[in-house]
Amino acid sequence: MSFTVNALTRSLNVFHLSGSACNNCDIEILDVLTPRYDAERFGIVLVGSIRHADVLLLSGAFNRKSAVRLKRVYEEAPKPIVVVAVGSCACTGNIFAGSYNIFEPVCNYIPIDAFLPGCPPKPEAMISAIVKLIGKLKGK
């Protein structure tokens, strides 16, 4: 494992893109940053611009309008970028799957590195996903 991959996995800047989510997942994502879980221990911080990001965090079902923006944000991201879909909506569409404005799951638009189902997933599940993701990055 090289030093640069080690540095990348120890300093993940997360950009959170919410596609018409109901805010449950968003609140749980914020929980991971609060004093109880404190993701900054592992160098994980939220950033405001996709240009600063190493992780693109998706929440909510992406509909016809927001999927266009999602593709654009993914193209604007500096590579290497890791994409994580948080919540059942982002993974499969959940109860909105097959509705008039949501054509297909988000993995048909951009490549997804980790799916994290749950409505909403617990903060512990998110930390577990981060650990697995770091393992995957190191294995690459």
Partner 1 sequence: MVRYLVHIGEVLIFPGLLFTAVIGLVTSWIDRKVTARVQMRVGPPFLQPFYDIVKYMIKETCVPAGASKFVFLAAPLFGLAAVTVASTILWRPMVWPEKSFIGDLIVVLYLLTIPAVSVVIGSFASANPIASIGGSREMKLILSYELPFILACLVPVIKTGSIEFGRILAEPMAAASPAGIIALIVAIVCMQAKLTLVPFDMPEAETELTGGAYVEYSGPPLGIFKLTRAMMLFTMPVFLITVLWGGIPLHEGAVPAVLGAVKYVGLIVITVLIRNTAPRVRIDQAMKFFWGPVTLFGVIAVIVAFIEGL
Q: Count Cα neighbours of 72 within 13 Å in the Cβ-side half-sphere.
A: 5
Q: Which of 23, 49, 108, 128 binds partner 1 (CB under 8 A)?
A: 49
124 binds partner 1 (CB under 8 A): no
The residue written with tokens 């965090």 in the block is 57
DSSP structure class, residue 35: T
Q: Which of 1, 7, 30, 68 binds partner 1 (CB under 8 A)?
A: 7
Of residues 28 and 54, the one with the C-beta less far from partner 1:
54
Contacts 24+ apart (CB under 8 A), 34-40: 36/123, 37/123, 37/127, 39/127, 39/130
Q: Binding pattern to partner 1, positions 10-39, x when CB under 8 A?
A: xx-----------------------x--x-
Q: Which of 1, 23, 51, 135 binds partner 1 (CB under 8 A)?
A: 51
The distance of closest approach from Cβ of residue 102 to partner 1 in the complex, given in angstroms and rounded to an integer, is 27
Of residues 47 and 97, the one with the C-beta less far from partner 1:
47
Helix residue ranges, H only, the chain = 3-10, 24-33, 64-76, 88-92, 123-139
Euclidean distance between CA atoms 88 and 80, whole angstroms: 25
Q: Binding pattern to partner 1, positions 73-92, x when CB under 8 A?
A: ---x-xxx------------
* Binding-residue total with partner 1 (CB under 8 A): 22
Closest-CA residue to 102 (of 65, 130, 138) = 65
Angle between helices 123-139 and 24-33 (to 10 degrees): 70
- Residues in contact with partner 1 by CB under 8 A are 3-4, 6-8, 10-11, 35, 38, 40-41, 43, 47-49, 51-52, 54, 76, 78-80
